[in-house]
Amino acid sequence: MSGKPAKDAPLLNGIEELETVLADHPNDYAIATIVAHAHMDMGWSWRGGRWDVEISETNNNAFDAHFDRAADILAPFKDMRPKPAFLAAAECTQLAGRKNASDDIARAYETIIDLDPSNARIMRAMGNHLLPRWFGDYNALELEARRTAARTQKTWGAGAYTWVQFDAIAYDDIACARLDVEFFVDGLRDILKRTKDQYTVNLLAAYCANTMGNATGGNEEADQVRSQIADCAKWIIREYLTELHPMLWAHAARGFDNNLQVRCADRFAASGEADALRIIGTVFRRDIANGNRIIFTDDGPICQPA
């Protein structure tokens, strides 16, 4: 799994085979959704997450072509009722590839979130797409974060505010500077009260410590917000961490860049493990200096005399 594909690698064979399956089952929304997602993934691999002016014409054309094909695939199921969350999510993702999606994107995300309120990935994607670089503005981002938190309070408490802002404030200094930090931290606590799975614990700890803790820029207000969020890693680790997910820590250190090219998965994971152990050591530095050792149990870390 390491390295680049060969120059003569049949990169289109996979999507062509998927198109063949779709042709054999033209009325199957599940197959259509899978093939549409494949096209959209290929489109994003061409485009990346950069501003429009930074994308070459060739890459932009490839992006548009894949998203146009995804739109054609999904079109026959537009009026399907009741609409499965799986299909609604694909339609929402496809909207993000349109140049004129500004008026529709928030409502599309609202629909899929209402269908699947426990899906934090959708909320994170919405926050990112409400940034000015995509289809929104800072007021819309804050408004939708609060509206989503209100609609999903039974599921997440204040957590949806945190999920919507999660990636947006990591990518954008102004969004970060405008953040309601108290609301965001309340959301972190509510998320962890409701889901203690170690994937989420590692995700939030790594995000606070690495993504926000290592990010500094020319915006003093944003840096102050990042510092407050980074401090949350301490109580997350002390109260909730029972196992380590190195890949999450490695991705967090690189801003959760979906277009990151990882040439060696083993080295990438090792870098994440090293980051995590360094940060955990910092959190428990005083305990260790006092002659204690840290033992991670199913109920969280505990200090015992060495």
Pair of tokens at residue 240: 């909730």
What's the number of domains the chain is made of?
Answer: 1
Q: Judge whether 92 and 131 are in contact, CB under 8 Å.
A: no
Phi-psi region of 226 (alpha: psi -120 to 50; beta: other; left: phi over 0): alpha
Q: 228 in a domain, yes or no?
A: yes
Q: 288 in a domain, yes or no?
A: yes
Q: 265 in a domain, yes or no?
A: yes
**pLDDT at residue number 256:** 81
Q: Which domain holds residue 220?
A: 197-306
Q: 215 in a domain, yes or no?
A: yes
Query: For 224-266, what is each residue's pLDDT tens digit?
Result: 999 999 999 999 999 999 999 999 999 998 888 766 677 788 8
Q: 135 in a domain, yes or no?
A: no
**pLDDT at residue number 102:** 62
**pLDDT at residue number 145:** 97
Q: 271 in a domain, yes or no?
A: yes
Q: 208 in a domain, yes or no?
A: yes
In the chain, what is the greatest distance between 2 CA atoms, to the nearest angstrom? 68
pLDDT in 10s for each residue of the chain, 306 residues: 334 455 666 667 788 999 999 999 999 999 999 999 999 988 888 887 666 677 888 888 888 899 999 999 999 999 998 888 889 889 888 887 776 666 678 888 998 999 999 999 999 999 999 999 888 899 999 999 999 999 999 999 999 999 999 999 999 999 999 999 999 999 999 999 999 899 999 999 999 999 998 877 778 999 999 999 999 999 999 999 999 999 999 999 888 876 667 778 889 999 999 999 999 999 999 988 888 888 888 888 888 887
Q: 223 in a domain, yes or no?
A: yes
